Amino acid sequence: MSFDAEITALQVDQSFIAGHWCVPVLDKGFDLFDPASETAVGRAHLCGITELDRAVQAAQAVLKNGWGRQDIANRLVYLDRLIEALDRNRLLLARSISAEVGSPIDFALAQQVGTAIGHLQATQAAAQTISQDRTPDPAKPTHRERYEPVGVAAMITPWNWPLNQIALKFGAALVAGCPMILKPSEYTPRTSVLFARCVQEIGLPHGTFNMLLGGAELGAAMSSYQGIDLVSFTGSTDVGRKISLAAAPDFKRCILELGGKSPNILFENCQVETAVQQGLAHCFRNAGQSCNAASLMLVQDGIYDQVLVLAKQDADQTRMGPPSENGSHLGPVISKAQYDRVQVLIQSGIDQGARLIAGGLGRADGFKQGFYVRPTVFADVTPDMRIAKEEIFGPVQSIMKFSHEKQAVDYVNSQDHGLAAYIQSSDDEQADRVSQQLNVGLIQINGTSRLPGAPFGGTRQSGIGRESGIWGIRAYQEVKSISGVARQV
Ligand code: NAD
């Protein structure tokens, strides 16, 4: 299956700075490959310090011109226009994500693009509920809280949900009044260019939004660059740590949305068939490349054997297919590096003594090329194994047994990551009790999805801060305390 020709034809040699498309001065590129065929599909042209400096100056000029002091309603006009532009380009954006990431087209359209637009709508709704000035005590109107933009925001995003992560940051920064410098993942430049074209259409003041195609080097430079006040990063825990350190000397505000190893706790009173089917689907969705993937199934001993039979059946029946094909199948993972990393972790599971009950090493059956990982399930996983602790970012389910509720809770709270946890129980009191005890950012009970605009983010090594809705907006604001009025003369 060939890479989408219209998407391949999209130019990725220019970045969007101060309202114009510009070719970076250095001839530095990043080679792009089709995840479904492994063939080369072009080269993105990467920015360096020269372009970063121009973007920072343009963004600072916007701030000086009072962008952040305008009424929120003025800035919301642009958000309306952006939602309309993205909506009009839904299919093109989905085809780009599908081609670049390997997400099957129906998933790319409904989930990747649909969720991104949903986030912008939720930000729009949240913005209606806040004002730049708040009087905490109506009886004392001279005491106010004033919310102001933090300043120039650097936004560094990953490839796995490329539009979604950009949309979360863009909407919040726009409402808060922060001029933006986006550095999307070098693996998804075409989707980023399409997004920037939509932003260009809405007529923001030049310099309010800048998009620099670039890699790790540019991201590192942004994290410590003078003139950038805030770094909002979504990506791996290792890179999040580097950004945090680089931003520390200047006390730049950091919002860090990092990796996860999210447990799915199946208590023996749960609806076992539904829990296993939904759990595996969640772990495998987007070929396992989601930060909140339910990748570690913790199963109470009374239902353990039944769960293994069902999990094997589900994994064996999981259909794989090309990204361009309609349907609910799984596509390839994004790159050779990602494929190799998943293979190393599958090998580690075998070497460390986990019981492989479905899938395993090598390319998925029926494919001669492409980064197709076999849907894989390991049973009898123990806490010391790499597949219990590390984010695999592939369609690999690790299953571990537990006996008592407290044991499951203690285990989850002892882990490095604290992004999401999933609870399967038909006892409401138990589900509520466990949800209160788990130290993670997101909890989903019996498969109920979060509302749009609900806070999103993790604890411990899954990051600092929250995105989405009102929490997303506040992350880009400083609050100033004002008491008193000017004396009358
Ligand atoms: P990554 O950390 O490798 O890269 C993310 C971004 O950081 C890219 O734009 C990359 O160019 C840039 N970067 C790389 N090195 C850098 C450095 N030293 N300084 C500054 N920037 C640098 O992550 P990825 O492989 O693109 O994405 C997958 C990861 O993202 C997973 O760990 C996943 O869990 C995480 N993620 C988290 C969330 C969340 O909300 N918590 C959402 C999506 C993805």
Instruction: Give the pLDDT of the chain (489 residues) as one tens digit per residue.
Output: 456 788 888 999 999 999 999 999 998 999 999 999 999 999 999 999 999 999 999 999 999 999 999 999 999 999 999 999 999 999 999 999 999 999 999 999 999 999 999 999 999 999 999 988 999 999 999 999 999 999 999 999 999 999 999 999 999 999 999 999 999 999 999 999 999 999 999 999 999 999 999 999 999 999 999 999 999 999 999 999 999 999 999 999 999 999 999 999 999 999 999 999 999 999 999 999 999 999 999 999 999 999 999 999 999 999 999 999 999 999 999 999 999 999 999 999 999 999 999 999 999 999 999 999 999 999 999 999 999 999 999 999 999 999 999 999 999 999 999 999 999 999 999 999 999 999 999 999 999 999 999 999 999 999 999 999 999 999 999 999 999 987 766
Please tell me the residue having the least CA distance from ligand 1 atom 21.
219
Residue 184 Cα, ligand 1 centroid: separation in angstroms?
Answer: 9
Do residues 136 and 365 lie in contact, with contact meaning Cβ atoms separated by under 8 Å? no
Indicate the DSSP class of residue 418: E
Q: Is the CB of 86 under 6 A from ligand 1?
A: no
H or E segment and range at residue 472? helix 469-474
Write out the DSSP string of 318-374: --B--TTS-SS-B---S-HHHHHHHHHHHHHHHHTT-EEEE--SSBPTT-SSS--BP
Residue 290 Cα, ligand 1 centroid: separation in angstroms?
Answer: 12
Q: Are strands 253-257 and 417-418 parallel, antiparallel or unpaired?
A: unpaired
Q: Is the CB of 245 under 6 A from ligand 1?
A: no
Q: How many CB atoms lie within 10 A of CB 200?
A: 16
Please tell me the residue having the least CA distance from ligand 1 atom 24.
158
Mutational pocket test of ligand 1: of 163, 218, 283, 291, the residue with most ligand atoms within 8 Å of the beta carbon: 291
Q: Is the CB of 341 under 6 A from ligand 1?
A: no
Instruction: Give CA–CA dist 104/106, Å, rounded.
Output: 6
Do residues 97 and 188 lie in contact, with contact meaning Cβ atoms separated by under 8 Å? yes
Do residues 310 and 275 lie in contact, with contact meaning Cβ atoms separated by under 8 Å? no
Identify whether 38 is a catalytic site residue.
no
Please give the pLDDT value at position 487: 74
316 three-state secondary structure: helix
Residue with token string 């038909």: 426
Helix 189-201 / helix 162-176 crossing angle, nearest 10 deg: 30
Q: Which residues lie below 8 Å from residue 104, measured CB to CB, with a gap of 6+?
A: 98, 321, 322, 323, 325, 326, 327, 328, 329, 330, 331
Please give the pLDDT value at position 5: 84
Do residues 219 and 156 lie in contact, with contact meaning Cβ atoms separated by under 8 Å? yes
Best CA proximity match to 44, nearest among 218, 223, 161: 218
Do residues 314 and 279 lie in contact, with contact meaning Cβ atoms separated by under 8 Å? no
Please give the pLDDT value at position 187: 98
Which of ligand 1's atoms lies nearest the C-alpha of 237? 32
Instruction: Give CA–CA dist 384/411, Å, rounded.
Output: 12
Which of ligand 1's atoms lies nearest the C-alpha of 393? 31
Please give the pLDDT value at position 2: 55
Please give the pLDDT value at position 424: 98
Furthest-apart CA atoms within the chain: distance in Å: 85
User: Of 198, 283, 291, 391, which one is the catalytic site residue?
Assistant: 291
Identify whether 257 is a catalytic site residue.
yes
Do residues 152 and 56 lie in contact, with contact meaning Cβ atoms separated by under 8 Å? yes
Which of ligand 1's atoms lies nearest the C-alpha of 260? 34
Q: Are strands 153-156 and 230-234 parallel, antiparallel or unpaired?
A: parallel
Q: Is the CB of 235 under 6 A from ligand 1?
A: yes
Please tell me the residue having the least CA distance from ligand 1 atom 13.
216
Do residues 435 and 464 lie in contact, with contact meaning Cβ atoms separated by under 8 Å? no
Indicate the DSSP class of residue 291: T
Instruction: Give CA–CA dist 117/82, Å, rounded.
Output: 9
Q: Is the CB of 160 under 6 A from ligand 1?
A: yes
Q: Is the CB of 216 under 6 A from ligand 1?
A: yes
Structure tokens at 165: 């992560």
Please give the pLDDT value at position 1: 44
Q: Is the CB of 219 under 6 A from ligand 1?
A: yes
Q: Is the CB of 239 under 6 A from ligand 1?
A: yes
Indicate the DSSP class of residue 365: T
Which of ligand 1's atoms lies nearest the C-alpha of 246? 19
Instruction: Give CA–CA dist 235/258, Å, rounded.
Output: 5
User: Of 100, 186, 257, 391, which one is the catalytic site residue?
Assistant: 257
Alpha-carbon torsion (330, 332, 338, 340), positive or negative: positive
68 three-state secondary structure: helix
Residue 380 Cα, ligand 1 centroid: separation in angstroms?
Answer: 30
